[in-house]
Chains A and B, each alone.
Chain A
Amino acid sequence: MSKFLSSNLSRRTVLRGLGVSLALPWLEATSGLARASAVVADAPTRMAFIFVPNGVHLSQWTPNTEGYGFKLPFILEPLASVQDDILVVSGLTHDKGRANGDGPGDHARSASVFLTGAQPRKTDGENIRSGISVDQAAAKLIGHKTRFSSLELGTDPGRNAGGCDSGYSCAYSSNISWSSESTPVGKEVNPRLVFERLFAGGTTQDVDRGQQQRIGLQKSVLDYIAEDAKQLQKKLGRNDNRKIEEYLAGVREVERRVGLGVASRPLDVDGDYPVPDGIPKDYREHIRLMCDMMVLAFQTDSTRVSTMMFANAGDNKNYRAIGVPDGHHDLSHHREDPVKLEKISKINRFHVEQLSYLLGKMKSIREGERTLLDNSMICYGSAISDGNRHNNENLPIILAGSGGGTISTGRHVRYSTETPMCNLFMSMLDRMGAEVPFIGDSTGRLPKLSI
């Protein structure tokens, strides 16, 4: 058991030498490319959610016309090469991002509500509560089909001192994925670690004579600690028991992966991926590497569900590289000052450029007659509309990819005001084959996604 889930430097070296050689598991039942048509039918649908903080400069974001053939506004211009693959969605609302009696803390709420649609409980420590997020709802239902039920990515670790926002624990500001109402799912910010997690010990290269024995040992380790936890559980109070529940959920997830064994039948795919060395200094480069990791995970069907925070809620980093030396959050309180608004538009556009990079990459990957992008739904946006007003209606949202041909992209659609954002999530979950009775404050499905 020398390589029990551990990082695997020699494996990385091999990958670097050979170009990436990875398995496409849904091809498993077929025997080679001759049966490519079967592949198309079987290629799974994936979904991802990307969070950006502090709202956007809406008048530079929202297209002037609805339907097909809209002119891309300044912020969305970088999406020109994928305009036919996106849906600009206007009018959605996250009501539970509003104070609703809880006072200030819009930024913390904007992250915790983004995928949960649930009013976070205002607390700095005791009993943190949100709701199950849409990605985790999907992961629970379809996650067993892949090695990782979901993949949570970001670029900034959570703040490590002080407070984050107005009496809300930092857990609310630095996470968007919640696997239960009390468990935020921490994100990975180091691309090297994501890579190693995805591909260390997981492909046929690692199969050797000791494999079965190692798997046997891993199983007994997991059995042992699960038993420890269960015995301990009997002795503990309510809050402590919740901790053990989290522990056991973690054990089960690892157990499942061990049970799956290794992915079989590797297939050479485009090796155009640098094996990351760590966190790049350059923010743009960092985001792009994390995007690469998401694409790799989707391409190899290591997971079908992912989230990514381009930055944490209320983030105040500067964007000197694009000529904006001020803090983002500071700027977002622009008071309609045209100089500040221009800077905000530049930041918004910078983020959209990175989205465009991700979408371009996904579009370049063929899956039978479609592309990876066609087979995906990438939901990008912010749960605050305008950073100055902190309002939660008419959110800036883009849905990219056609969900396996079920969404008519290339349009700008507008929904009536106060339409829950969670209705979009319901429609997305349906397309993932992960139907749930509701998510957050959803009231139904979103119409007009396909025409």
Chain B
Amino acid sequence: MMYFSRLKTWMVIGACLLGVLFSVPNLVPAPGDFALWRTIHLGLDLRGGSYLLLEVDMAAVIKERLESLGDSARSTLRRAGVNQFVVSTQPAQNRLMVRLGDQTNQDKALAALRELATVSTTLPGARPDLDVSVTPEGPISVVLSPVALKERAGNAVQQSIEIVRRRIDETGVVDPQITRQGESRIVVQLPGVEDPNRIKQLLGKTARMTFRLTDETANPSNPTAPPGVEFLAMEGRGGGKIAVRRRVEVDGATLTDARAGQNNQTGEWVVNFTFNSEGTRRFAEISRNNVGHPFAIVLDDKVISAPVIREAITGGRGQISGSFDARSATDLAVLLRAGALPAPLTVVEERSVGPELGADAIRAGGIALACGFLLVMVYMAFFYGLFGWFANLALLANLFLMTAILSLMEATLTLPGMAGILLTLGMAVDYNILINERIREESHNGRTPLNAMEAGFQRAYSTIIDSSATAFLAHVMLFAFGAGPVRGFAVTITVGIVTSLFTATMLARLCMVRWYAAQRPSVLPV
């Protein structure tokens, strides 16, 4: 126990020096591009910023899937020669019900509906994504398989993350972090953003833009719209409703660019956009066939404008004019450039901290940390003398090692994390206290100094292992189940337990051994 080979001595010292070395990047700016020049990141509660937890509306994803499935069901059935039927969606059961007017067509209808199913190639044990069967009551049910649904939901979240990232990038926020959490949630962290209102507004819109024809024969003041037509509200000035065909002629996804600008003649704010080749072709075709008729530009179930087509538009460029000001035109351009979200997002948790509050927290935490550190050191010096100083040296090395490991992990330091560091320091000396008390006991039992130190370390070992293992387990649980800032606390404590074990048992022991070799005392100062 009390013998250190030259190699082991240097390894212990080397580890401590590495600890100091890897702590340095936190204090000085990077002189160049080094891979290991890593620092601890400050959490948003310390540096100021906004944390948003978004939830993807999965019900909307399922509903939309069912609606598009319903459309395809209608057209396949018609193509198969089945004419009398009613298709209804039941989102709660993830299914579509098809009620046939003429039961003799049942086999034909079943065959046609089964063709709608696709067999996914990416999933193991490939099965069709639809389950078509006849219910005992008569109608045919088309059920979305849970596996396919899950895949679709996963894709929707993935796609949403991409769109959210693009939208936030457009706002010029530096270093945003967008990550997935669980099944249907997205965490957005925006350092330095004190007021996330604008970003919440940008994320709150699905921004699905469609170009559709209007139905001039329908009267929007009627209570129900004719089939294939819906009454949508007009945005801005006039208000009122307008009859728009459900069929989407050109989708906003075919836009390649959108920019806010001002109209040369009127000076009003507009959004100029450019289609890709498919969009250009479709738009040219529609406009050529509908000269003299109005078409509607629909954004999230609201009509932004419904201009009359004067001539065929073949250049693939267009302009949306509505009741825009500079801000709303810019925002719409951002939304169109970034693309539509597959489903609406809701903010379920928001935490924003201003930078000065974060700075206050760092100051308060720093002072508390320094005072706590000092108090513990003074205590150890008073109550354990020289061996207390060895413990203090170990404590200092511990602080560096913790900083180094947290830096290398690029861990995030939160306010509770600072409390974790302080508690670790308080508990780290526990190991030294255990050892010192044991050595003292053994020494009083009449052992020689070297013998007492040897026995002290040996006996204290099993206790140290037991006590650190329980603390370690408790905090691993906290990390696994805790959320947000508490995880920072759990991380600092678990790292701290490991480094404390090293410094208290190795470094403090090494100090004692070197001291003993130099002094050869006949009595231990305990």
Mutual binders A and B: no
